[in-house]
Chains A and B, each alone.
Chain A
Amino acid sequence: AQSVSQHNHHVILSEAASLELGCNYSYGGTVNLFWYVQYPGQHLQLLLKYFSGDPLVKGIKGFEAEFIKSKFSFNLRKPSVQWSDTAEYFCAVNSGGGADGLTFGKGTHLIIQP
C-alpha cells in the first residue's frame, strides 16, 4: 500500500523567507506525485504535479518541487514566501498505472508572518 509522509505539520516563517516542505512516499512502482494547497475557507487546488521527465517541476505562484527517485522524495520549495502563502499544503501520490485514488499526507500548516 502507498503512504505519504510530510515531515512538518506546522511551519511558521516570515515574509521573504525561503520555504522547503518535505514529502516522502512509499511505493515501489511508477508514481504520479502532486502538491495541493488549501487556502483558508477554500477548496483544494493543485499547485504542481510530476508524472515523468524533468524531475524539477514548476507550479503556480512561484512554487517548484523536485522528484528524487532514490530518496522517494518530492519536496516543495519556494525561494521567497508571501503572507498570502498562508495555507495548508498536502503532498499526494497515486500509482502510475494502477489504482486511481490519491493517497495524501497529513498536511503542513504554513503560517507566514508579515
Chain B
Amino acid sequence: DTGVSQNPRHKITKRGQNVTFRCDPISEHNRLYWYRQTLGQGPEFLTYFQNEAQLEKSRLLSDRFSAERPKGSFSTLEIQRTEQGDSAMYLCASRDSLNTEAFFGQGTRLTVV
C-alpha cells in the first residue's frame, strides 16, 4: 500500500498519560498535515510541515501537543498529560507542492479514559 499510513490505528490511554502517534506520508510528498476529528464534526486543522519545517500551527494545538518531522519523511504527534477532551480521531494527510490534492490516512482513534 503506497498511501498515507498511520500507527497505531487505535489507542486507549489513561488520563494524564503521554501518547505518540506516527504518520508515514506518501514518499514523494513534501507537505504533511495533522487534523483532529471529533464525533459529528469535520476534521480540524492542527499543524502542517513542509519537509522538516513546521510552518503553521492552529490555536487548537495547545502546549501539551507537539509535532515533529525530523528528516522530512515520517511525522510524530505527541500529546502530553492527556485529557478526556483529547479523545478524537487524529488524521494525517500529505501532498506534494504541485498537486493541491491532499491524501489522508485512516487515522488514529484516541480514547482517553
Residues of chain A whose beta carbon lies under 8 Å from any beta carbon of chain B: 4, 9, 32, 36, 42-46, 49, 51, 90, 92, 99-107
Q: Which residues of A contact B101 (CB under 8 A)?
A: 46, 49
Q: Is B33 positioned at the interface, with any CB of A under 8 Å from its CB? A: yes
User: Do most interface residues of chain A lie in helix, strand or loop, or is the interface mixed?
Assistant: loop
Contacts of B103 in A (CB 8 A): 46
Interface size on B, residues (CB 8 A): 25
A5 to B42 Cα, complex, angstroms: 11
Contacts A51-B100, A90-B42, A90-B43 given; does A101 touch B91 at CB 8 Å? no
Contact B42 A101 (CB under 8 A): no
Contact with A along B12-25 (1 / 0, CB 8 A): 00000000000000
Contacting pair B106 A43 (CB below 8 A): yes
Whether A92 lies near B42 (C-beta < 8 A) is yes
